[in-house]
Each structure stands twice: as structure tokens, then as C-alpha cells.
């Protein structure tokens, strides 16, 4: 059996983030066994195939900030999906002390 790719490892970790919780790019990289490759997490999420079910929107910056430019379609989509799950987004930020996923 083939070893999962780095992207697949990231997608597996992100899929495990529960509804109503968030994780940082760095946390996902660490949990996927990729050390300090937080930027790679963003690139891997950008490569998700059409029709996927990976909850990419649950991944945000370590400081709780949404990574997309405010007002952009991706920003609006991410904040909307988080709010649907009960995650409070105020001025483009999520309170990590309240919503951070701690497996």
C-alpha cells in the first residue's frame, strides 16, 4: 500500500477537526508530521479536488485571523461557514482560546 502524500496527510488532519472548532496552519502541519511547514498547509488546501468534503474553512492563522483578504469571496465564504457551525468571527478573527481544537 502506498504511503499518503503530504497533501493527503494534511487533508486527513483537517477532516478530523470537529464541527465548531478551528486549528491553525501550524497545528495542522505539526499533526500531519510536517513540522514547521504551515505555508505548505495553505498550498495543500488550495489543491483540494472539486467535490471534496474537507472542511478547509476550519483552518486559520495562529492568531485567530482569517487568512484571506477581508471582503474577498473566499473570506466571506469562510466566515459564513464558520458562523454556521457556531464559531464566532469578530473583525475577521476567531477567539482561539475558545474555539481551538485540542485533540
pLDDT in tens, 4-57: 899 999 999 999 999 999 999 999 999 999 999 999 999 999 999 999 999 999
Return all residues near 42 (Cβ < 8 A) that are at least 6 apart: 25, 59, 67
CATH code for the domain in which residue 58 is found: 1.10.10.10
pLDDT at 96 over 90: yes
Asked if 25 and 59 touch (Cβ cutoff 8 Å), the reply is yes
Tell me what pLDDT residue 2 has.
Answer: 79
In terms of Cα–Cα distance, which of 102, 75, 103, 77 is closest to 91? 75
Q: At 24, give phi and psi (nearest 5°).
A: -85, 160
* Residue 1 domain-assigned (yes or no): no
pTM for the model: 0.94
Residue numbers of the domain that contains 44: 6-99
Total domains present in the chain: 1
> Does the residue 18 lie in any domain?
yes
Q: What pLDDT is stored for residue 1 in this prediction?
A: 64
Amino acid at each position: 500500500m502506498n504511503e499518503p502524500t503530504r497533501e493527503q496527510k494534511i487533508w486527513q488532519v483537517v477532516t478530523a477537526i470537529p464541527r465548531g472548532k478551528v486549528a491553525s496552519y501550524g497545528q495542522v502541519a505539526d499533526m500531519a508530521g510536517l513540522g514547521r511547514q504551515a505555508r505548505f498547509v495553505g498550498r495543500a488546501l488550495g489543491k483540494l479536488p472539486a467535490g471534496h468534503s474537507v472542511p478547509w474553512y476550519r483552518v486559520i492563522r495562529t492568531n485567530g485571523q482569517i487568512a484571506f483578504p477581508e471582503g474577498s469571496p473566499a473570506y466571506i465564504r469562510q466566515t459564513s461557514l464558520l458562523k454556521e457551525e457556531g464559531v464566532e468571527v469578530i473583525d475577521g478573527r476567531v477567539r482561539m482560546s475558545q474555539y481551538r481544537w485540542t485533540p
